[in-house]
Amino acid sequence: SAVISQKPSRDICQRGTSLTIQCQVDSQVTMMFWYRQQPGQSLTLIATANQGSEATYESGFVIDKFPISRPNLTFSTLTVSNMSPEDSSIYLCSVMDASEGAKNIQYFGAGTRLSVL
């Protein structure tokens, strides 16, 4: 299984500022994802982070608001830009090995609990 380190674990931010969340994996993985989860709600996929190219965003999420980087196969960042209280949520990094013979199992980081004042 993959071990994921996600930082920060929590933060309290002011409206209008930006926060960058880091996700580091202990092995090379083919797929990295960023999710948002409101308390008591299910997972909402923000985007798939693509190594060396622009992320693939889901409907309702745009690059200007959630820029994502993935410079290599073990690291990705998600930035929440120009934050408002509506961005208060838990943000989760997830990885999957989608290579041939792999089981397509997703592993999750511990999450970043973001509160925007």
Partner 1 sequence: QKEVEQNSGPLSVPEGAIASLNCTYSDRGSQSFFWYRQYSGKSPELIMFIYSNGDKEDGRFTAQLNKASQYVSLLIRDSQPSDSATYLCAVITNAGKSTFGDGTTLTVKP
Residues that bind partner 1 (CB under 8 A): 33, 41-43, 45, 92, 96, 98, 103-111
In angstroms, give the least distance from the CB of 47 to partner 1: 12
Contact (Cβ atoms closer than 8 angstroms) between residue 91 and residue 112: yes
**Residue 62 to residue 111: CA distance in whole angstroms:** 21
58 vs 69, beta carbon nearer partner 1: 58
Residue 69 beta carbon to partner 1: minimum distance, rounded to whole angstroms: 21
> String of b and e for 2-31 (b: at least 16 CB within 10 Å)?
bebebeeeeeebeeeeebebbbebeeebeb
Measured from the CB atom, is 58 or 65 closer to partner 1?
58
Residue number with CB closer to partner 1 (1 or 14): 1
